[in-house]
C-alpha cells in the first residue's frame, strides 16, 4: 500500500527491554521524523532524518536511537525502555520541495 | 525556541455555525505553517499547508490564513458539521538551511465539538 505505515500498532513491554518501532514510507520522501504525543505536552520531535545515513536530534532524544540505512525506512529504538517512554509514537515524512508532513497511524507503546 | 499556542483549547458549537480557530507563534522566521486534524485514537491528517510567502490557503469549507509579521494563523471552518468534530492542531515549520529543515513545532490543539 502506498503511504506511510508503522508497526507494531500496539506494544506492551517491560522496563529495561529494548524495543524497536518501525516506520516505512513509499513516497521516497527525503525527510522523515519521529514524534511522541503525550497529554499535557502535545507532539514533540524526537529525531529526524534528512536522507539516508543523515539523522539529527529533536527536542526529546534521550533514551532513543535511530538509523536510516534506506530512504524508505526509519526505525526508532528504545535501548532500555522506561515508564516515562509510555506514549503514542508517530512517524512522518515530507518531500524536499513543499515540506508538507504526512503522518503514519501511530504506535501506542506501554512500558510496564 | 519556537512556541506555538492555540486558542481556544476547546470549542463547542451547534451545527451550521462558522467558526475560527486561532494559532500564534513566537518566532516569525517560519518556513511554513501546517494545520492538521486528529480524530480520537488516530493519526494526524494534513488539512492545509501555507508557505511563508503565502497569505492563505483554501480547501472546501476550510480557509487558513497566515500573518508572519504578527505571528498568527487562523483556520476558518464554514458551515460546521458534526463530522468536523476532532482536535485541530497547528504546527510551525522551521526555516530553511542546515539540519533544521522542515522541523515542525506543534500547538496543544483545539478540541472542536459540533453538535446536531
Interface-testing mutation among A99, A104, A108, with chain B (most B C-beta atoms within 10 A): A99
Spatial distance between the Cα atoms of B90 and B73, rounded to a whole number of angstroms: 8
Give the pLDDT band (50/70/90) at residue B98: low
Element (H, E) at B114: strand B110-115
Model pLDDT, residue A95 = 83
In chain B the first and final C-alpha atoms are separated, in Å, by 41
A33 to chain B: closest CA residue: B103
Q: Which residues of B touch A102 (CB under 8 A)?
A: 46
- Nearest by CB to residue A100, choosing from B46, B99, B106, is B46
What cell does A83 get? 515508564
Interface-testing mutation among B42, B53, B102, with chain A (most A C-beta atoms within 10 A): B102
B41 CB-near residues (< 8 Å, 6+ apart): none
Structure confidence by residue, pLDDT tens digits, A89-103 = 999 999 877 788 999
What cell does B83 get? 463530522
Span A79-96, mean pLDDT? 95
- Ramachandran bin of A42, using left for φ above 0, alpha for ψ from -120 to 50, beta for the remaining angles: left
If DSSP states are collapsed to H, E and C, what string results for B60-71?
Answer: CCEEEEEECCCC
- Ramachandran bin of B30, using left for φ above 0, alpha for ψ from -120 to 50, beta for the remaining angles: beta
Cα A47 from chain centroid?
Answer: 7
Spatial distance between the Cα atoms of B34 and B11, rounded to a whole number of angstroms: 20
Spatial distance between the Cα atoms of B106 and B48, rounded to a whole number of angstroms: 14
Whether residue A84 is predicted with pLDDT greater than 80 in this model: the reply is yes
Structure confidence by residue, pLDDT tens digits, B74-97 = 999 999 999 999 999 999 998 555
* A49 in Cβ contact with A55 (< 8 Å): yes
Whether residue B15 is predicted with pLDDT greater than 90 in this model: the reply is yes
B43 to chain A: closest CA residue: A105
* A110 in Cβ contact with A13 (< 8 Å): yes
Closest CA–CA distance from residue A110 to any residue of chain B (Å)? 15
Considering chain B, what is the average pLDDT of its residues?
92
Structure confidence by residue, pLDDT tens digits, A17-69 = 999 999 999 999 999 999 999 988 889 999 999 888 889 898 899 999 999 99
Model pLDDT, residue B25 = 96
Interface-testing mutation among B44, B59, B108, with chain A (most A C-beta atoms within 10 A): B44
Q: Which residues of B touch A45 (CB under 8 A)?
A: 103-105
DSSP string, A11-70: EEE-TT--EEEEEEESS--SEEEEEEEETTTEEEEEEEEEETTEEEE-S--TTEEE--SS
Amino acid at each position: 500500500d502506498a503511504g506511510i505505515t508503522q508497526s507494531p500498532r500496539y506494544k506492551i513491554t517491560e522496563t529495561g527491554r529494548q524495543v524497536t518501532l518501525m516506520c516505512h514510507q513509499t513516497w521516497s520522501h527525503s525527510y522523515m521524523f519521529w514524534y511522541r504525543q503525550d497529554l499535557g505536552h502535545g507532539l514533540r520531535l524526537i529525531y529526524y532524518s534528512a536522507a539516508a545515513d543523515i539523522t539529527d536530534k529533536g527536542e526529546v532524544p534521550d533514551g532513543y536511537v535511530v538509523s536510516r540505512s534506506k530512504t524508505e525506512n526509519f526505525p526508532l529504538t528504545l535501548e532500555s525502555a522506561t515508564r516515562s517512554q509510555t506514549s503514542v509514537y508517530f512517524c512522518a515524512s515530507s518531500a524536499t520541495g513543499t515540506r508538507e508532513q504526512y503522518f503514519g497511524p501511530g504506535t501506542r507503546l506501554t512500558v510496564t | 525556541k519556537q512556541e506555538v499556542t492555540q486558542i481556544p483549547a476547546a470549542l463547542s458549537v451547534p451545527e451550521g455555525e462558522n467558526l475560527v480557530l486561532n494559532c500564534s507563534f513566537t518566532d516569525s522566521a517560519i518556513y511554513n505553517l501546517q494545520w492538521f486534524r486528529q480524530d480520537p485514537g488516530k493519526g494526524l491528517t494534513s488539512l492545509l499547508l501555507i508557505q511563508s510567502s503565502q497569505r492563505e490557503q483554501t480547501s472546501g469549507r476550510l480557509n487558513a490564513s497566515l500573518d508572519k509579521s504578527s505571528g498568527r494563523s487562523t483556520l476558518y471552518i464554514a458551515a460546521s458539521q458534526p463530522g468536523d468534530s476532532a482536535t485541530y492542531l497547528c504546527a510551525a515549520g522551521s526555516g530553511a538551511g542546515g539540519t533544521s529543515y522542515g522541523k515542525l513545532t506543534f500547538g496543544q490543539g483545539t478540541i472542536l465539538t459540533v453538535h446536531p
